[in-house]
Amino acid sequence: MELYYPGDEAWVTFVNVHRQTWHESSSQMALLKKMDNQLDLAITIYNIHNGRWQKWIESQIPSLDYLTPLECLRTPTLIKRLRTVLMRM
């Protein structure tokens, strides 16, 4: 999936579309902490999955080759995979 990553410029544009819903609520800050303080990922995951984000980040996702989104934080390649999946949702 990471081979289809459209690039950092497209990612920044995507994040900026979702940024308007970020208000640093307690739920959002909990997600940010779980996502290793990667604000861009937290913003998009919160906006796309809203109330279901806690379950989603710990679920094995088929399009992530059955890794969890949290496991994708381990390497830059896996982060690109996660970004690509988020951008396709």
Question: Closest by alpha carbon to 57, among 65, 66, 45, 39?
Answer: 45
Around Cβ 28, how many Cβ atoms within 10 Å?
A: 19
DSSP 72: G
Residue 82 has pLDDT above 80, yes or no: yes
Q: How far apart are CA 28 and CA 78, in angstroms?
A: 22
Could you report the per-residue pLDDT of 60-79, keeping only the tens digit for each? 999 999 999 999 999 999 99
Task: Count each helix (H run) and each strand (E run) in the chain, helices first.
Answer: 5, 0
Question: Is the separation of the CB atoms in 58 and 17 below 8 Å?
Answer: no
Residue 1 has pLDDT above 90, yes or no: no
Could you report the per-residue pLDDT of 24-41, keeping only the tens digit for each? 999 999 999 999 999 999
How high is the pLDDT of residue 2?
79
- What residue ranges do the domains of the chain occupy? 2-87
Query: Rounded to two decimals, what is the model's pTM?
Result: 0.93
